[in-house]
A and B are shown apart, each in its own frame.
Chain A
Amino acid sequence: GAVVSQHPSRVICKSGTSVKIECRSLDFQATTMFWYRQFPKQSLMLMATSNEGSKATYEQGVEKDKFLINHASLTLSTLTVTSAHPEDSSFYICSARSGGYEQYFGPGTRLTVT
């Protein structure tokens, strides 16, 4: 149980375009979803927290107009990287929680901006 999927697993896009990453909780209802960014050989950095039906809360230094997060249902959250640039290339990981303390992680999405 507690499976979280992400789509796509890898994406390459051109500079200036937008890309959407989906995060789904497959077998539970996720009241809260989290988006992390991970650079090579570094730890996970929390970007934002989203609760179903409300606006996401962004961490300090994360541009909310660039990283649009939508949590429209209890099983789906999306992260849209708008006007992507090469410095946005990274590994993006989502996680989901149905309550309590534990988060269940998706397999991640590798974004490359050329």
Chain B
Amino acid sequence: AQTVTQSQPEMSVQEAETVTLSCTYDTSENNYYLFWYKQPPSRQMILVIRQEAYKQQNATENRFSVNFQKAAKSFSLKISDSQLGDTAMYFCAYAPVGDMRFGAGTRLTVKP
């Protein structure tokens, strides 16, 4: 079975600080993608960052970066210089060819 685990149901961070959300996954596949999605109160799923499993270099998108450890099956998201607009649910997703599986989510609150 392929599962995605987010062990932090809720987290908070002060504005302008850095926070890291953790994600682990279980798979026997070698080729897959990993994603972090943000879901604000509007509930629209917004892609934050993607990582291709065959790439060793960690993906970065402005203030967002990942720490991808393929052997450990770990895919954490680091948000630098946190902003109030970053307050949302964050879902880690694992996508082999075929479908996408989501973790339970982490509710992040950025405090002013």
Mark A residues whose CB is within 8 Å of B.
34, 38, 42-44, 46, 49, 91, 93, 95, 101-103, 105, 107-108
Say yes or no: A34-B43 contact (C-beta < 8 A), given A43-B105, A101-B32, A103-B95. no
Query: CA A38 – CA B32 in complex, angstroms?
Result: 24
B95 touches A102 (CB 8 A): yes
Q: What CA separation (Å) do A38 and B105 show in the bound complex?
A: 12
Q: Is A34 a contact of B99 with CB atoms below 8 Å?
A: yes
Docked-complex contact A34 and B100, CB < 8 angstroms: yes
Count, chain B residues at interface, CB 8 A: 22
Interface string of B66-109 (1 = CB under 8 A from A): 00000000000000000000000001000111111111110000
Say whether A43 contacts B43, CB under 8 Å.
Answer: no
- From B43, B95, B96, B98, A108 is in contact (CB under 8 Å) with B43
- In the complex, what's the smallest C-beta–C-beta distance from A4 to chain B, in angstroms? 10
Query: Are A108 and B44 neighbours in the complex by a CB distance under 8 Å?
Result: yes
Across the interface, which residues of B come within 8 angstroms of A44, CB to CB?
Answer: 45, 91, 102
Known: A102-B33, A102-B50. A46 touches B99 (CB 8 A): yes
Q: List 8 A-B contacts (CB under 8 A).
A: A42-B105, A43-B102, A46-B100, A93-B45, A95-B45, A102-B33, A107-B43, A108-B43
